[in-house]
């Protein structure tokens, strides 16, 4: 139970709407309670009168929204007596699973696609002591293997097919409505496996049970990994936004339901558009998210400009992960630093005056 004002994580805060009891040992690292930040400079660039907020999920303990689901999944795994968890991952799920397993004192096995995982995420999984299994295949291959191996070994799957993941992640919608004091008109988010859009829709519909109020859900995919736009699973997903490099979304039906029931849509962005949105947020708002996250803002800006999202709307975009997760992609987008100059007042003064 909470004492004073100390925040004890999202399960403690939202225990009334989560499947835990008073005696459940909570495996928490203080996840959730992330800021909802109003954009100050980007809305004007759209030429339209809109309010855009970003839910900065990169400020969770391991730097992505995955912690919301992982605190629930690991809490329940431990409650049910599991000694090991397993997941396939494009990176953030493995970082989160590794951290929560460490906290709980159980083992984590993570299957990751060889060479296709951002450096920060790999560093996390390694530091938290997960057993890392690199496979010569993509996320979809890893997911299939995890499902098969879990039938033959005493390990709990903590991918978003674990229903407790979705339960934990729905709390983001609760936090948004609480922070805004109302339900947003539109909610934009990147879509990979589609667990997060499913979880948000669950949260919004639970809250709106009596009022019927809910946002319109817009899901954005990378052009090279856009099964929802194609209308079918794809085999070789490719995108710079590795967190959404997924061709066989596990929450396929649930995500279509969220889109249809909310009156929303799916759309896609090229890698160039995704990276441009990431840079725009960094330069205009001081907010650094990873490439996949920026698909939400890039998609929202485009749909504000083209009028699909009307003027006067309140829009929330989920920034799913922190920019520091993927330093390589960030640095490769920026101009190389100029040559070192003399360590003298004159040289530094000249360098500054040159830029003013
Ligand atoms: C996992 C992840 C996504 C995709 O979320 P899904 O629930 O798989 O649709 C998007 N961005 C980041 C940073 C992620 O880690």
Ligand 1 in reach of 196 Cβ (< 6 A): yes
Q: What is the pLDDT of residue 115?
A: 84
Cα–ligand 1 centroid distance for 124 (angstroms): 17
* Same fold: 10-63+165-332 with 66-162: yes
Cα–ligand 1 centroid distance for 243 (angstroms): 6
The CA distance from 31 to 70, in Å, is 9
For residue 290, give the ligand 1 atom closest to its CA.
13
Predicted confidence (pLDDT) at residue 1 exceeds the cutoff of 70: no
pLDDT above 70 as % of the chain: 99
* Buried residues in 172-205 as b, exposed as e (16+ CB within 10 A): bbbbbbebeeebbbbbbbbbbbbbbbbbbbbbbb
> Could you tell me the strand order of the sheet in which 107-113 lies?
131-135, 107-113, 84-88, 156-157
The CA distance from 237 to 244, in Å, is 9
Ligand 1 in reach of 160 Cβ (< 6 A): yes
The CA distance from 28 to 341, in Å, is 48
CB-CB contact of 183 with 215 (8 Å)? yes
Ligand 1 in reach of 64 Cβ (< 6 A): yes
Q: What is the pLDDT of residue 336?
A: 74
Ligand 1 in reach of 243 Cβ (< 6 A): yes
Is CATH 3.30.70.141 the right assignment for the domain spanning 10-63+165-332?
no
pTM: 0.96
The CA distance from 294 to 317, in Å, is 9
Taking the domains of the chain in order of start, what are their residue ranges? 10-63+165-332, 66-162
* Site to substitute for ligand 1 among 162, 243, 319, most atoms within 8 A of C-beta: 243
Quick: pLDDT tens for 108-122.
999 999 988 899 999
For residue 198, give the ligand 1 atom closest to its CA.
7
The CA distance from 130 to 295, in Å, is 29
Residue 122: which H helix or E strand, with range? helix 119-127
Entry field: residues in the chain: 356
The CA distance from 26 to 63, in Å, is 20
Average pLDDT on 62-80 reads 98
CB-CB contact of 268 with 221 (8 Å)? yes
* Residue 54: strand pairing partners: 37, 317
Predicted confidence (pLDDT) at residue 64 exceeds the cutoff of 80: yes
End-to-end CA distance of the chain: 54
What is the Cα 250 distance to its own chain's centre? Answer: 15
Band the pLDDT of 4: cuts 50, 70, 90.
Answer: confident
3-state DSSP assignment of residue 90: coil
Quick: pLDDT tens for 203-220.
999 999 999 999 999 999
Q: Is 72 exposed, middle or buried (0-12, 13-18, 19+ CB in 10 A)?
A: buried
- Measured by CA distance, the residue closest to atom 1 of ligand 1 is 243
Q: What is the CA radius of gyration of the chain?
A: 21
Q: What is the pLDDT of residue 139?
A: 93
DSSP sequence for 289-302: B-HHHHHHHHHHHH
* Site to substitute for ligand 1 among 34, 125, 196, 290, most atoms within 8 A of C-beta: 196
Cα–ligand 1 centroid distance for 106 (angstroms): 24
Band the pLDDT of 3: cuts 50, 70, 90.
Answer: low
Predicted confidence (pLDDT) at residue 257 exceeds the cutoff of 60: yes
Predicted confidence (pLDDT) at residue 328 exceeds the cutoff of 60: yes
Ligand 1 in reach of 92 Cβ (< 6 A): yes
Cα–ligand 1 centroid distance for 200 (angstroms): 13
Cα–ligand 1 centroid distance for 345 (angstroms): 47
Q: Is 349 exposed, middle or buried (0-12, 13-18, 19+ CB in 10 A)?
A: exposed
Quick: pLDDT tens for 153-198.
999 999 999 999 999 999 999 999 999 999 999 999 999 999 999 9
pLDDT above 90 as % of the chain: 94
Average pLDDT on 309-334 reads 96
Distance set, CA 188 to CA 218, 259, 318, 355 (Å): 5, 11, 6, 37
Ligand 1 in reach of 193 Cβ (< 6 A): yes
Q: What is the pLDDT of residue 182?
A: 98
Quick: pLDDT tens for 275-297.
999 999 999 999 999 999 999 99
Average pLDDT value over all residues in the chain: 96
Predicted confidence (pLDDT) at residue 2 exceeds the cutoff of 60: no
Class level of CATH domain 66-162: alpha beta
* Site to substitute for ligand 1 among 58, 92, 116, 168, most atoms within 8 A of C-beta: 92
DSSP sequence for 134-196: EESS-HHHHHHHHHHHTTTSS-EE-STTSHHHHHHHTHHHHHHHHHHSS--SEEEEE-SSSHH
């Amino acid at each position: 139970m909470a004492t004073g004002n100390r925040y004890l994580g999202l399960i403690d805060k939202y225990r009334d709407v989560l499947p835990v009891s008073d005696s459940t040992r909570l495996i928490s690292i203080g996840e959730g309670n992330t800021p909802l930040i109003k954009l100050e400079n980007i809305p004007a660039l759209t030429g339209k009168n809109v309010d855009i907020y970003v839910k900065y999920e990169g400020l969770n303990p391991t730097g992505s929204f995955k912690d919301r689901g992982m605190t629930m999944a690991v809490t329940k795994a431990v409650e049910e007596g599991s000694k090991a968890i397993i997941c396939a991952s494009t990176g953030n799920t493995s970082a989160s699973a590794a951290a929560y397993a460490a906290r709980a004192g159980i083992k984590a096995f993570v299957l990751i696609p060889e060479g296709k995982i951002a450096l920060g995420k790999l560093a996390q999984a390694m530091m938290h002591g997960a057993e890392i299994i690199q496979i010569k295949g993509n996320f979809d291959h890893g997911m299939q293997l995890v499902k098969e191996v879990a039938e033959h070994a005493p390990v709990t799957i903590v991918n978003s097919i674990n229903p407790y993941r979705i339960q934990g992640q729905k709390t983001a919608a609760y936090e948004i409505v609480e922070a805004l004091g109302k339900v947003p008109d539109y909610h934009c988010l990147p879509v990979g496996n589609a667990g997060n859009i499913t979880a948000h829709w669950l949260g919004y519909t639970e809250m709106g049970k009596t009022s019927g109020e809910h946002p319109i859900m817009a899901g954005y995919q990378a052009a090279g990994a856009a099964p929802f736009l194609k209308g079918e699973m794809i085999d070789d997903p490719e995108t710079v936004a590795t967190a959404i490099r997924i061709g066989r979304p596990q929450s396929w039906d649930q995500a279509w339901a969220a889109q249809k029931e909310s009156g929303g849509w799916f759309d896609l962005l090229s890698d160039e558009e995704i990276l441009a949105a990431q840079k725009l947020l960094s330069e205009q708002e001081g907010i650094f998210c990873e490439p996949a996250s920026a698909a939400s803002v890039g998609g929202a800006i485009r749909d504000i400009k083209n009028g699909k999202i009307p003027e006067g709307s309140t829009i929330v975009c989920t920034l799913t992960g922190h920019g520091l997760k993927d330093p390589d992609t960030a640095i490769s987008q920026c101009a190389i630093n100029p040559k070192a100059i003399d360590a003298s007042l004159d040289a530094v003064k000249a360098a500054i005056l040159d830029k003013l």
